[in-house]
Structure 1
Amino acid sequence: MAKVLERPTTEKPTMQEAYKRVCDLLPYYRVEVVDGRIVVNEVPTGVHNDIISNLLLQIVAVVAANGWKLWTNIKVFLGPQADRYVPDLTIVPRNPRMWGADEVYGEETKLVVEVVSPSSVNDDYVAKPREYAKAKVPLYLLIDPDRAVVLLFSDPVGGRYQQKVEVALGAPLDLPEPWKLTIDTGQLFDADEPKTGSPG
């Protein structure tokens, strides 16, 4: 008996369908949707991972004392038809409200952290603060090793962050309530790693 072949569809997949296909094809990569573009993030470098590790050493006591969780591969839910971001580090409460199994509501987070890479500069500085603020992410920490600066976006109101603090790498940076913690940004790099760039 002859097998009937289905006619291939000519319909263009939706962004969400295309995103899911890329995620399925590349399960070990961080795949995001940024400004309507599917972005496959490069594998983090050793320096990139060291920055996250050194940050964790400074915040883990507060995280543990509050019963929060450290998540390194979770999507932040920005809305049903919105972008999809996978931060380098996300701090959440013990039982955060979720959109499905792999997306946490932005307003549920305690801190979202991104380390800038050469390919993500515009996304990290422009698109992500805008969308994180709309999703009511309370604190967005941006670490830029090339410019040697650290930025903290806070107080999301009306879809915009009302506060932005930028410090040169090496200066202290205060995390507000509920953290009550000062980050020593100079400790984000290991002593033997080069610090490129200059505060801008």
Structure 2
Amino acid sequence: MAKVLDRPTERPSKEDLRDELVRRLPEMCEQWPDRRVELINGRIVVRELPTDSHNNIVFWVLTQLLGTVTEHGWKIWNDIKIHLGPQTERYRPDLTVVPRNPRMWDKNEVYGDVTLLVVEVVSPSSVNDDHVVKPQNCALAGVPLYLVIDAFDEQVRLLSSPSLKGYQQENIVKFGGSLKLPEPWNLTIDTDELPEG
């Protein structure tokens, strides 16, 4: 189950709150080294450890992407923060595909607009964040492709064409169907073998 840390009882300014959250984030990462700690929508969120079914889906995605990633000399990272620009959000997707030498904000944070694909596997505590909050901010940061695998709704959702208003294109495929990733991928993902959540 996800935990949202208590917010201060006084009403600090938005800038003070943002600065405090950014300051506290590394402390929380150290305090919860075996958990996923993210800054989402003005909250520090500590997520539970992934389940075996979650990990099986992540493995399935890796097997689908690995050939194309290897062919292009790209990398798949499973635990990197996405730098989304001046907003305070700091996401750690389940998988992030980056070019061989991506532009980095620091050693633990890659710029969103240089990623090639961000993948989120929905957990019970992350449904709204994975489907609503994160895509909005990833689009603003220029993340080109945002893939959501939702075993609860038995669907795969690909968002593309980022803009200031969010992603302009959405393609949803029910489990068992095929999903085509656009340029530079030219890859069709077959969801027939996708493990159940």
TM-score, normalising length: structure 1: 0.87
**Hey, what does 1:48 align to over in structure 2?**
54
**Hey, what does 1:8 align to over in structure 2?**
none
Which residue of 178, 181, 184 corresponds with 1:178?
184
**Hey, what does 2:130 align to over in structure 1?**
124
**Hey, what does 2:9 align to over in structure 1?**
none
Would you say 1:76 and 2:82 are equivalent positions? yes
Aligned residues: 181
Ranges of 4+ aligned residues in structure 1 off by more than 3 Å:
none
Unmatched segments (≥5 aa) in structure 2: 1-15
Does the 8 Å contact 1:67/1:93 carry over to 2? yes
Q: Quick check: which one's strand share is greater?
A: 2
Post-superposition shift, 1:127?
0.2
Which residue of 98, 107, 111 corresponds with 1:101?
107
**Distance in 2 (alpha carbons) for counterparts of 1:20 and 1:65:** 35
**Hey, what does 2:6 align to over in structure 1?**
none
**Hey, what does 1:29 align to over in structure 2?**
35
Percent identity at matched positions?
Answer: 52
**Distance in 2 (alpha carbons) for counterparts of 1:80 and 1:158:** 14
**Distance in 2 (alpha carbons) for counterparts of 1:19 and 1:137:** 22
1:56-77 Cα shifts (integer Å, max 9, x gaps): 1111010000000010000000
Structure 1 or 2, whichever has the larger Rg, is 1
TM-score, normalising length: structure 2: 0.88
**Distance in 2 (alpha carbons) for counterparts of 1:42 and 1:67:** 32
What residue identity is the alignment partner of 1:188?
L
**Distance in 2 (alpha carbons) for counterparts of 1:16 and 1:170:** 41
Q: Matched residue of 2:171: which SS?
A: strand
Q: CA RMSD in A?
A: 1.5
1:26-71 Cα shifts (integer Å, max 9, x gaps): 1222100110111111100111111111111111010000000010
Post-superposition shift, 1:157?
2.0
**Distance in 2 (alpha carbons) for counterparts of 1:27 and 1:79:** 25
**Distance in 2 (alpha carbons) for counterparts of 1:158 and 1:122:** 20
